[in-house]
Structure 1
Amino acid sequence: MSIPSRPSTGERRPRAMVIDAAWRGLGPGPRALSGPGGAPLTRTVKLIVLPLIVRPALRPELAADFLDAREAERLDALIRESGAVLEATARWFTLLKKTRRALGIVAGNPQDLYFQRCFELATEHGAPGPGADAVARAVLEDVVDASGGRTVAALKEHLADASRRARLDAELAAAWDEREAVPGAADAGLAAEVLDACGAEEADSPAFAAMVRAGHGGLLGRALWSAHPADVWDRADIPPHLGLTAHRVPPRPEVGRGASTATLPAPFDRTLFERLFTVLQASTHREQLPTVPELVRREAARSCAPLGLHDESLRVTVVLGGRLAVGLDPLGAGTSVAGSTAAHRIVNSRWRREASVLRARRMTVSPSPDPDGGVLNALAQDLRTPWAAYMRRLWVRLHGRDVRDAALPDAASAWGVLDGVARSVMMDHRARVRTALRTLSSAAEPAAEPRSA
């Protein structure tokens, strides 16, 4: 059955909204690639819709955040035309997860590992048919072989050796004792200059290179090691480490024995195992990583480096991210005096247009009883301290780049990471608000029904 295209309007529409509407129009077919509310999963958009269907590199007119009517119709059509292959992709993904469980494979995130493989299978074979079980098993074995032993299980086995653990612990202690704590701060003027150039057609600034040459990222990291750092962010109401540690001074990293995504501590408080666990879990191309012994050796040194990073361009991006984070003001409360650059205006204006933010703003101004035990109020509170989630996600992303030796060569590439993290945090908050509202709605429905005699 053909699905009619959306009527056009003269207004520019957010690309994410166009994708969401087109996806919902596909119906229940790609349910395995969707969230509980029917919208595409974040990884579905990131790994399938954008790179494999929209292909912005070939269609640069669809790469913008906001699309005019013609571009929105083109994007809508591309997704709807891909409905059959997306439904087949979802069915392959369901089969691969079932086969994965049968084989006892637990390493890695199935979405990261299999989404694009499933799209390839759907394009080549259509929906799973006769012989699909054998194909699924072969794909899973190929993914495992491609990892070259770079798995969480291999990491756990490597760190289980008592003598190796003792040696690593001694190396961590020695490296930690050699640190130099300096209660200084990076140049706020240079950071503001870089952030003010963001969003322009040529989002570049020589100030970024100047900050890298002068080691401003390392300076911030050493300042955070000091028990009494200087006024790093020109704000007394937030911790200088911006939630990257739960302690006043980051503790010495331990070796560790295990990790769970549900209980990961703040980035600077993670063990060696926890740092590498997140890298291995998120990696879609593990063959590009060093071997597990080399990963461990490098991470031992990295964990004792300023900001837990080796590359200075990535450290400087932490400085820029901190400056951006302390000026984030989704609720438009006007409490921050730091959000005066172009980067702040871009991110804050985008955030304030969010329906979930508008609801949180109303709750802040005129709070009402929360029937879900405070869930909505907690989500509103997240918007009062947006720097915490932002910095945590930024550090994880930069850490992944550092492990892969993927430096940021200029301000434009740094802005791409900073802006991408802001979008990711915003989309995550939107999803959590929707989940909370669905929970409240479903809980209220039985209460409205009349009781039976």
Structure 2
Amino acid sequence: MPLLSQPTGERRPRAMVIDGAWRALGPGLESLSGPGGAPLTRTVKLILLPLVVRPALHPDLAADFLGPEPTARLDALIRESGARLVATAQWFTLLKRTRRTLGIVAGHPQDLYFQRCFELAAEHGGPGPASGALARAVVEEVADADGGRTVDALKRYLADAEQFDRLERELAVAWSGRTSAPVAGAATAVALAGEVLEACGRAEGPRDSPAYASMVAAGHGGLLGRALWAQMDGFWGRADLPSPLGLTERRLPPRPRVGRGASTATLPAPLDRTLFERLFVVLQSSARREELPTVPELVGREVGRGCAPLGLHDESLRVAVLLGGRLAVGLDPLGIEEPAPDLTSAHRAVNSRWRREASVLRARRMTVSPRPDPDGGALDALAQDLRTPWTAYMRRLWVRLHGRDVRDAALDDAEAAWTVLDGVARSVMMDHRARVRAALRSLSAGSVGPVVAPDLEPAAESRSA
């Protein structure tokens, strides 16, 4: 099938070109594709871009928008790799089946096996009748490569009753030693956060801000954490918003417990999670677990981290939570609230991006219309989520910052902090778009169920341990 005609000089989004070329390859790619037939996000990130397109060798294919000639070459590269991609999909199906047979649950199969499957396809073509032994060897090799930094290892470590009781005692001592008295300086902290966001949201000019360094040096992130311990209301200058913004569902953040299990489908709010649940997320979402501390060290550090302000050790990451909260309270994807006088350039940039989303435009019509939702309530629930966007934003932001804290990856300046803050906003927006599409597919099929927003990045399957 030839590439769709394109007027001379017209530029097309690279993602659209990849999607069209992928769909043109035909059947056999289901395990690498989403329900609608488009390549999975990880397929693009782990296979198509680094192994097929290779922008490092073809710099003109690295742009987000492509002219006619690069568009034709990108389309040709993907089509020429069609047979290998089909074989990759077959190997992935085989490796997942082998993984289930061996009882391995740690890690995300796409992260672990996508690139290995492409290598197997390049070397062997598709799997044959005698490929089971090779698949088993690959799965076992990948499982051993993480040095025991797995959910299974965490579960075994915490299964020891003496170990479990010792950790509970350490948590109780650390929690009792925290400073939870009411704190002053909230207004100053929020004002400085506004200065940083104003600098970061500018389209041109330096995005760094001396206010960011001042906030880190003064411990303003820790100030927010202690305010939550003291049940300080009105931290953000708005009486209608809870100070935790969804980081806890309790009146006060509870003392962390050790815990014995977790599931991505039922994770509590970040500050309400057990040590097991917090480390479960880290181990599940880490593509390179060999870079993490060992399980005993992970657990030992998490005892102190779980009892620290905002559940984080590093002050720059706590400040990022404060900046994220200042951004979150001004998020208005629907554009139906009275604009606050203290909105920054960062707020305007993120809100503008969200309001261009087709799913948001539909949600806006639904929330301002007096008529009931004709679709049975599924889309109405998603529309209502956009009236309180801070909850999804803050939960996902905390997960990312917690992962950085585990790896001792501080945010050295405002530019680095903004990269994380803006990335989380984009991720939440894309997740909402995917949930709207899932609801529409369910409605068209005549079966409507709950469409839950995860804390983690959208994934192909949920996990439990």
TM-score when scaled to structure 1? 0.89
Instruction: Show the counterpart of 1:90.
Output: 89
Q: Is the 8 A contact 2:28 2:89 kept in 1?
A: yes
Displacement, 1:74? 5.8
Cα distance in 2 for partners of 1:220, 1:300 equals 20
The aligned length equals 442
**Residues in 2 aligned to 1:18 and 1:238: alpha-carbon distance in whole angstroms:** 43
Say if 1:325 and 1:391, in contact at 8 Å, map to a contact too: yes
1:3 CA drift (Å): 4.2
Cα offsets for 1:245-296 (capped at 9, x unmatched): 0012101001111111111100000001101111111111111111111110
Cα deviation per residue 1:161-190 (whole Å; 9 max; x = unaligned)? Answer: 111111111111111111112434262232
- Go from structure 1 to structure 2 and tell me whether the alpha carbon gap of 1:207 and 1:64 turns closer, same or farther (over 3 Å shift): farther
Q: Would the alpha carbon gap of residues 253 and 111 (structure 1) be closer, same or farther in structure 2, given more than 3 Å must change?
A: same
Change in Cα spacing, 1:211 to 1:10, as seen in structure 2 (3 Å) is farther
Q: 1:66 to 1:258 in 2, by over 3 A?
A: same
Aligned pair partner of 2:347 in 339, 344, 349: 344
Cα distance, 1:151 vs structure 2: 1.3
Match of 2:455? none
Q: Which moved more, 1:111-120 or 1:388-397?
A: 111-120
Tell me the equivalent position of 1:275: 278
Q: 2:245 corresponds to which residue? A: 242
Match of 2:196 in 1: 194
Tell me the residue number matched to 1:383.
386
- 8 Å CA contact 1:8, 1:70 repeated in 2: no
Q: Structure 1 residues 248 and 277 mapped into 2: Cα distance closer, same or farther (>3 Å)?
A: same
Asked if residue 408 in structure 1 is aligned to residue 411 in structure 2, the reply is: yes
In structure 2, C-alpha distance between the alignment counterparts of 1:10 and 1:344, rounded to whole Å: 34
Q: CA deviation at 1:64?
A: 5.8
- Aligned pairs for 1:134-149 (under 5 A) are 134-149=133-148
**Partner deviation per Cα, 1:271-330 (whole Å, 9 max, x = no partner):** 011011111111111111111111100011100111111111111111111111111111
Q: Which residue of 1 aligns with 2:356?
A: 353
Structure 1 residues 323 and 255: alpha-carbon distance in aligned structure 2, compared to 1, 3 A threshold: same
Q: Given that residues 5 and 76 in structure 1 are in contact (C-alpha distance below 8 angstroms), is that contact kept between their aligned partners in structure 2?
A: no
Is this contact kept in 2: 1:6–1:73, CA < 8 A? no
Contact 1:6–1:76 (Cα < 8 Å) also in 2: no
Kept after mapping to 1: 8 A contact 2:3/2:72: no
2:303 pairs with 1:300: yes
User: Which position in structure 2 is the counterpart of 1:320?
Assistant: 323
In the alignment, which residue of structure 2 is the partner of 1:451? Answer: none
Residue identity opposite 1:110 in structure 2: P
Question: Against the structure 1 CA distance between its residues 17 and 420, is the aligned structure 2 distance closer, same or farther, given a 3 Å change threshold?
Answer: farther
Shift of 1:390: 0.8
Opposite residue 45 of structure 1, the aligned amino acid is: V
Matched, 1:399 2:398: no
Q: Is the 8 A contact 1:193 1:207 kept in 2?
A: yes
Q: How do 1:68-87 residues align onto structure 2 when only pairs under 5 Å count? A: 76=75, 78-87=77-86
3-state SS in 2 of match to 1:209: helix
Secondary structure at 1:384 match in 2: coil
C-alpha distance after superposition, 1:323-371 (max 9, x if no partner) = 1111111111134517722222222122111111111111112254435
Deviation at 1:11, TM superposition (A): 6.1
| CA RMSD between the two structures | 2.5
SS in 2 for 1:244: coil
SS in 1 for 2:159: coil
Cα pair 2:366 2:373 within 8 Å, conserved:
no
The runs of 5 or more residues in structure 1 that have no matched partner are 445-453
Residues 65-89 of structure 1 show CA distances to partners (whole Å, capped at 9, x for unaligned) of 5666666666555544543433232
Measured in 1, the distance between the counterparts of 2:252 and 2:172 equals 16
Q: CA deviation at 1:52?
A: 4.0
- 1:210 matched to which residue of 2? 214
Give, in angstroms, the shift of residue 142 of structure 1: 1.0
The 3 A distance-change label for structure 1 pair 240 and 15 is farther
Task: Please report how far the alpha carbon of residue 27 of structure 1 lies from its aligned counterpart in structure 2 after TM superposition.
Answer: 3.2
